[in-house]
Amino acid sequence: KKLQNAFKFCSNIVKELSSKKYSSFNYPFLEPVDPVSMNIPTYFDYVKDPMDLGSISTKLSNWEYETIEQFENDVRLVFKNCYAFNPDGTIVNMMGHRLEEIFNNRWAD
């Protein structure tokens, strides 16, 4: 029962972060960053553990998270990667901070 609730809580958060409501600043984080198509060949020099909201949603549906901390770590990894590659003051960096703020509000029970 508790597990079901945790799963629901996490999937609702991913759904919200990925929703149309925030489409003006969530789109860089919905799918895996493709350094080739985005012409950012150095991306994997900055980001050793790529992560995105789509992959998190898939991992949730496949019950790949044993604890909600593992889920939280993946969500925070999305933002960490964003800030590692997109320096302060860049548009995508600011988009990351806006989405992170929404996550933090939802995550703080």
Ligand X SMILES: Cc1ccc(Nc2c(-c3ccc(O)cc3)nc3c(C)cccn23)cc1
Residues that bind ligand X (CB under 6 A): 27-28, 33, 38-40, 47, 81-82, 85-86, 92
* Least separation in angstroms between CB 76 and ligand X: 13
- Quick one: tokens of 102? 């929404």
- Closest CB to ligand X among residues 15, 27: 27
* Least separation in angstroms between CB 82 and ligand X: 4
- Closest CB to ligand X among residues 27, 97: 27
